Amino acid sequence: MKKKVAIVGASGYTGRELLRLLAQHPFLQATAVMTARAGTQPEPPAFPNDPVIAAYDEQALRTVDGVFLCTPHGAASEIAKAALAAGRKVVDLSADFRLRSPERYAAVYGAPHPAPELLTEAIYGLTEHARAAVTAARLVANPGCYPTSVLLPLLPLLQAGLLDPHAPIVSDSKSGTSGAGKNPSERTHFGNVHENFCAYGIGNHRHQPEICQQAGTERVVFVPHLLPTFRGILSTLYLTPATGTTAERMRSCLQERYGHEAFVQVYAKGAPELRCVQMSNQCHIAVHACGPVAVVVSVLDNLLKGASGQALQNMNLMLGLPEGAGLS
């Protein structure tokens, strides 16, 4: 018998991706598909094979084994508390539980944290680096899409001491428009994106504190850009090797760390492109020498490995299922 899960916030991009993944999952089924808004009218299917999206019903959380929260930040915490009180496993795809400090959350998101008592319990679910903790967790904070693309190549290099401890860590990152979510804005309007390219959030993007927290350093320089595409992230990291370290050694470090991982691939030569990973749960990484720095290119699908795919990895582990189930 399949285990049951709820998707709260099912009408957004990440909720729809989860519905698509769960439709082919051998061990899970979405039996509660809801908005985050109580008392609203059910949303009719957007396409013929889509389910009706019901209004939020707290009682429905008691009928499932796990809950995916695909809500905006600030809205997830109260639902998470209700699901945890009902004994359910929770993966939160919003930003509510990513930052450990309630003070830093308030500074970044402009409001007090709605559930600071849960911050010490929440596990940051970068799956390949938190597998044991995720397996034992009740509450997982699913990483942001940009941070996933940066941290997967960066963490092993920091942990191995292969980077100059004083040099800045520069991440030049580009995302498709789906990273901004479903709600339209002037910035993501087709007429402003088509045949255009821009940097944004320079020095104040909400993902920078998340990257710095997980990397354990404030030396990160993170500059995001908006691509005229729908899905995918390409992050180019400019890293200064430690004395005596080469780009080849850095590549070997990543190959050793991820050699047995199903969803991370390190190239022996060449560089990955968005089309290599779109519609997959893969992160592809390459390392090249470039004068005094090593250039690391990391690509993933922001809606899958950067969001719903990684969330499913985490929920699989939390419910005792094969980590890759539903993600082939």
How confident is the model at residue 236, as a pLDDT?
98
How many structural domains are present in the chain? 2
Range of the domain at 295: 145-302
> Does the residue 294 lie in any domain?
yes
Q: Same domain, yes or no, for 282 and 314?
A: no
Distances in Å between the Cα of 242 and the Cα atoms of 132, 164, 167, 247 are: 30, 4, 9, 10
> Does the residue 179 lie in any domain?
yes
Q: Is the pLDDT of residue 306 over 90?
A: yes
| Residue 272 identity | P
E strand or H helix at 13: helix 13-22
Q: Same domain, yes or no, for 32 and 44?
A: yes
Q: Same domain, yes or no, for 77 and 120?
A: yes
The single residue listed with the structure tokens 């992230």 is 233
- 3-class SS of residue 265: strand
Q: Same domain, yes or no, for 90 and 186?
A: no
Q: Which CATH number belongs to the domain containing residue 111 in this structure?
A: 3.40.50.720
How confident is the model at residue 9, as a pLDDT?
94
Q: Same domain, yes or no, for 32 and 62?
A: yes
How confident is the model at residue 188, as a pLDDT?
66
pLDDT digits (tens, 9 = 90+) for 52-92: 899 999 999 999 999 999 998 889 999 999 999 999 999 99
How confident is the model at residue 183, as a pLDDT?
65
> Does the residue 328 lie in any domain?
no
The single residue listed with the structure tokens 């039996």 is 31
Q: Is the pLDDT of residue 98 over 70?
A: yes
Torsion (CA) 131, 275, 177, 226 in degrees, nearest 10: 100
pLDDT digits (tens, 9 = 90+) for 21-37: 999 999 999 999 999 88
How confident is the model at residue 181, as a pLDDT?
65
Closest CA to 152 of 285, 268, 308, 290: 285
Q: Same domain, yes or no, for 247 and 267?
A: yes
Q: Is the pLDDT of residue 189 over 70?
A: no
> Does the residue 326 lie in any domain?
no
Q: Same domain, yes or no, for 50 and 67?
A: yes
How confident is the model at residue 230, as a pLDDT?
85
Q: For helices 13-22 and 309-318, give the axis angle rounded to 10 degrees.
A: 60
Q: What is the length of the chain?
A: 328
Q: What is the mean pLDDT of the chain?
A: 94
Catalytic residues: 145
Q: How confident is the model at residue 264 (pLDDT cuts 50, 70, 90)?
A: very high
Across the range 105-132, mean pLDDT stands at 96
Q: Is the pLDDT of residue 250 over 70?
A: yes
Q: Is the pLDDT of residue 179 over 80?
A: no
Q: Is the pLDDT of residue 304 over 90?
A: yes
Q: Same domain, yes or no, for 252 and 213?
A: yes
Q: Is the pLDDT of residue 203 over 80?
A: yes
Q: Same domain, yes or no, for 208 and 266?
A: yes
DSSP-derived secondary structure for 145-186: HHHHHHHHHHHHHHHTT-B-TTS-EEEEEEE-GGGG-SS--T
How confident is the model at residue 99, as a pLDDT?
97
Q: Which CATH number belongs to the domain containing residue 158 in this structure?
A: 3.30.360.10
pLDDT digits (tens, 9 = 90+) for 272-283: 999 999 999 999
> Does the residue 327 lie in any domain?
no
Across the range 154-167, mean pLDDT stands at 98
Q: Is the pLDDT of residue 171 over 90?
A: yes
> pTM for the full model?
0.95
Q: Same domain, yes or no, for 35 and 134?
A: yes
Q: Is the pLDDT of residue 184 over 70?
A: no
Q: Where do runs of H (alpha helix) occur along 137-291?
A: 145-159, 190-193, 207-215, 247-258
How confident is the model at residue 177, as a pLDDT?
86
Q: Same domain, yes or no, for 158 and 274?
A: yes
